Structure 1
Amino acid sequence: MAGDEWTGEVIMSHERPERTRPAEGWAEDEAADRGAVEAAAAGAAASAAENAEASEGKVAAGSDREAGTDGPAGGRGAPVLPELDVEDLRDRWQRAVAETENLRKRYERQMDDVRRAEQDRVTAAWLPVVDHLELALQHAAADPKAVIPGVEAVCQQAHALLAQLGYRRIAEVGEPFDPAVHEAAQVRQEAGAAPGSVVQVLRAGYGSDRGLLRPAVVSVAAKAQE
């Protein structure tokens, strides 16, 4: 056959034919790629979670400091003090000093008023005694004998006024000597008197519920001589 005549030439190809991979090899590579991708995704998620926990820890620590707590247990830490205004503190201090000084002056005025009122009250109570003494002196020239009864009446009036003011008279004779209310001026022999008893009052004493105003000056009976 003319068309199919063999010329005896061998056609040599310099190109290597492409080798084909089995389907199982492609499946293994794809599985490996998916595993790498999943591992990378898991690592990124874990890193993100760690960063989020660190951020939450910082925020919680800041909240604890603002609230005055320390640590997760809620222990109380040092309180956060507000800023102090020096000028405001100085103004408050000056106001307190001024108010204290005004209070002290007001109390002093009140005490002075009370003292003057008490002096006026006692003086007014003694004015009748003074008036009666003056009347007794006026009648002394006309009737000298009437002076003694008048002076005795004025003396009784004065004793009554002292008792009204709350001062009792200490002038009893025959009582045992009491150093708390008596002052011994002399010790003498007195017939019939108990040794150590008051035999004469040289000056009466006066006392009140608040204490002794002045002691009574007295003479005391001595022990009988053997």
Structure 2
Amino acid sequence: MTGQPEDSVSQPGSDVPAPAGDDLAAAAEAVDQQEAVGTDHPGPDESVAAADEAAARAEGGLPPVDGPERPAGEGSDPLGEALALADARLQDLQRERADFVNYRRRVERDREQAGQEARAAVLAALLPVLDDVEGARQHGDLTGPFAAVADKLTATLQRLGLEAFGEAGEPFDPSLHEALLQDGQTEVDVPTCTQVLQRGYRTGERVLRPARVAVATPA
């Protein structure tokens, strides 16, 4: 049998010569290059997974990751991510607390206002009773046990904030007085209340009823 180069030996039963050793090495190198190139470009499944991860990080308040996530020890910062998440949660908690504080203040303010309205309504309903008590006192009919009851009623209403006003000789104030009569016999320099026909009442800054008076005006 004649000698032939080892690289050109044909396979038994075939006329096609076997590939040379250099050709096999080149083919293996090409396969390695293709595998390396394939790892640089993520496939469809990897793209979907990256999109899902980005959405989950956005929902959790974490900053987005630039490029593919790197494993711990190769540039990742788990402590920074944890601090960012804690800061986001703290801001949410502070906003919730501020909203609760504002709500509580509104409730307290509305409750106080409702209490003032109810107290003013009760006091205004008792003003005719006080007018009768005042008329009986002026005519000398307020004596005996009825006088004691009237004094207790007046003291109780004063503790609740009811205040009477309106005196003869004080300047006329349209916000506090209601002029029912014109007094032309008294000489004054400014409009003046000369007679109180019915006392006025207020609670705090709120006037429940103006004082009804006779007024003298300058000539």
TM value normalised by structure 2: 0.47
The two structures have a TM-score, normalised by structure 1, of 0.46
* Rg comparison, structure with higher value: 1
